[in-house]
Amino acid sequence: CSGNVEMEIDNLYKAVPQLHKVFNVIDKIGEGTFSAVYLGEAKMLDGGRERFALKRLIPTSHPARIAAELQCLTIAGGRENVMGATYCFRREGEVVIVMPYMEHQPIGEIIGLLSFEEVRLYIYNLLKALKHIHQFGIIHRDIKFNNFLYNRRAKMYSLVDFGLAQGTADTQIELLKVVKQRATQKAGGATGKTDTGVPGKKAPRASDTPTPLTTTGPPSPPQPQQQSAAPPSSSSSSTTATVTPTTATSSPLPRTSTVSPALTCHCFQTERVCNICMSRKKQVAPRAGTPGFRAPEVLTCCPTQGTAIDVWSAGVILLSLLSNRYPFFKGSEDLVSLTQIMIVRGSRETVQAAQTFGKAVVCSRELPRQDLRLLCERLRGRRPAPDGDEARLGEGKEDQEEGPRPSGVAAAPPGAEGVRAEEEEERGWDRVPGEAYGLLDRLLDLNPATRITAAEALLHPLFTDLH
Ligand code: ADP
Ligand code: MG
């Protein structure tokens, strides 16, 4: 490993010296906002060696948050495609969670090689993990490729990272009752993981700046610090966002780059916040998670969010796999993500669904709902794309990092088209059953109340032979 990583490993040994007795830390395997993960080899009593993943949490993580993550792993983990915890080291504020090491391939490296059957099994196994954690009343809140480890060769899957998890009202994870109650006291920032889930504890390296899409609650005494809050809609507790494609194109789809969000309220236009707007209380709702995977109810700061948000993220994953675009939604900020969702799922449908959970979304131009099969086949290169507008979908960046381009996006060398078509057929992409798009449609139901659950999805006709 590189010099930098060696220094980090030295630093890890210094922070938690007891690691030395058991582990030989070999390399760094991952880094997120709140942790770094290392590969460690344990010297076993029988002389053998076993590999483990060592997750070092940043010392500023709140103890309740850390304990809740650990409790999810120990109580729900270790089965049903959910990662378990083997041990945990602590020295003062330093915590290292030890988990079985699972070799895996980053999805960006293999997405273009996957067969339809592999995709079907991948999504089945993800739904299995979701059904399991949802039975425990755990909402993961950060379902994405990087948190669902996949070993293609061994056909192994594992859901990791309960660092943002929250509990449902009847959660069986006692410590999630603590973080849940606290997490909703603070709204997150604009991008990435933003919520420590603990009161008075700000997420490090995260922005607390309210996004243009701000929620409003019932009137309360004027609060000057809310000046940057968005103006309210006509309904008293709703979010108003007007999505305005600035350039009219003849294409059925606007280029995402020309779709810019704007807010409608006279005070927004005059750049002054009126008294009514000023008097509105900001509606707080958890918004943690990764842009691009957030459900519409998360993007609009709906205060009641449940396990359905994880199912939406699983839908984004399936959309990405079926279209060979990684990641699918660029989603640098919430309004852009919402616009991209409207491009695929329709603006009228989004507005209607948002109404059901008490949010008023306004879109100044009608964006028709896409046929999911046509969309995926076009993006996969199986059908000609209209003016390349849709091609802009799927050029996003998971975790705001430069992700590898899916092979479908990279320009094909001359003469490669025939070869690609042949390979696609070998991998079953010429005979994707309608059920795959049927399931996708149910996972990406804009209305969380009618969205399919993970348990129901496992019984979907797409998986008949796997029941
Ligand atoms: P973070 O909260 O920082 O995102 P994660 O728990 O998601 O932390 O771990 C970050 C990365 O480390 C994962 O995306 C994965 O690549 C790797 N990783 C985590 N746990 C394991 C494990 N048990 N086995 C192998 N790799 C792991
Ligand atoms: Mg992670």
What pLDDT is stored for residue 338 in this prediction?
94
421 pLDDT band, cuts 50/70/90, is confident
Q: Tell which one of 34, 57, 161, 398 to mutate to probe ligand 1, the residue whose CB is within 8 A of the most ligand atoms.
A: 161
What pLDDT is stored for residue 278 in this prediction?
63
Do residues 188 and 173 touch, judged by C-beta distance below 8 A?
no
Please compute the mean of the pLDDT values over residues 260-288 and round it to a whole number.
52
pLDDT in tens, 243-252: 433 333 222 2
pLDDT at 224 over 90: no
What pLDDT is stored for residue 67 in this prediction?
95
Ligand number with the minimum distance to the CA of 35: 1
ipTM computed for the complex: 0.99
- Using CA atoms, how far residue 126 sits from 133, 146, 157, in Å, is 11, 12, 8
pLDDT in tens, 12-69: 999 999 999 999 999 999 998 889 999 999 988 898 999 999 999 998 889 999 999 9
Do residues 335 and 211 touch, judged by C-beta distance below 8 A?
yes
Which residue, by CA, sits nearest to atom 15 of ligand 1? 30
What pLDDT is stored for residue 420 in this prediction?
79
290 pLDDT band, cuts 50/70/90, is confident
Please compute the mean of the pLDDT values over residues 118-127 and round it to a whole number.
98
Long-range contacts of residues 62-66, Cβ cutoff 8 Å, at least 24 apart: 62/196, 62/197, 62/198, 62/201, 64/175, 64/178, 64/179, 64/182, 64/197, 64/198, 65/163, 65/179, 65/196, 65/197, 65/198, 65/201, 66/95
Q: Which of 138-147, 175-184, 287-296, 452-461 has the lowest mean pLDDT?
A: 175-184
pLDDT at 348 over 50: yes
Average model confidence (pLDDT) for the chain?
79
Which residues surround ligand 1 with Cβ inside 6 Å?
A: 29-30, 32, 34-35, 37, 53, 55, 83, 99, 101-102, 146-147, 149, 160-161, 163
